[in-house]
Amino acid sequence: MDEKYLKSVESIDSIIDTNYNILCGEAGEARDWELYKFLFHPDGRLIRYEKALTDGVLRPQFLSCDEYINTTGEWLNTGRKTAFYENEVHKEVHAFGNIAQVFSTYQSFNSKEEMDNNKPYTRGINSFQLLYDQDRWWILNLFWARETEELPIPEKFLR
């Protein structure tokens, strides 16, 4: 186990906070993808629930951590013309033994100034399925959906 990353996976809060922190940065700023991969179980998946670019149909899109890094990660590193910042506004944790389900409401910003002024360009919910194994937490699945006019975030997830 990589000792330098253990603090990032010692608790539910630390693994989720690390997930958000890695993704944030200025346009062209490299993210720590080695640490990001460390958060995920080797069989872990990222699942976005968005409209497909090919036909505009809303459907889940399943990615391995490497696939996510090679597509979205590369876009965050070099493809965005603006910064990307995201923060958590609400979290609900349900845990039993070595498993946890976390609903984490997020909001995304194109700059630190937007974040400081609480003016997100989008919001959504990240659903984390976590496993505690080998003296650490792992992300098994990170499944998210953005808020839309047709699918507003319920008030109970914005408290």
Instruction: Tell me the whole-structure pTM to 2 decimals.
Output: 0.91
Q: Which domains does the chain have, with CATH numbers?
A: 3-157 (3.10.450.50)
Q: Which residue type, as a one-letter code, is found at position 7?
A: K
When the pLDDT of each residue in the chain is averaged and rounded to a whole number, the result is: 93
Coil, strand or helix: which one is 86?
A: strand
pLDDT value of residue 80: 81
Query: What is the mean predicted confidence (pLDDT) over 2-25?
Result: 95
Is the Cβ–Cβ distance between 121 and 95 less than 8 Å?
no
The pLDDT-based confidence of 79 (bands split at 50, 70, 90) is confident
Query: 106 pairs with which residues across the strands?
Result: 88, 124
pLDDT digits (tens, 9 = 90+) for 106-125: 999 999 999 999 999 999 99
Q: Is the pLDDT of residue 30 over 80?
A: yes
Rounded CA separation 64/141 (Å): 10
Confidence of residue 77 (pLDDT cuts 50, 70, 90): confident
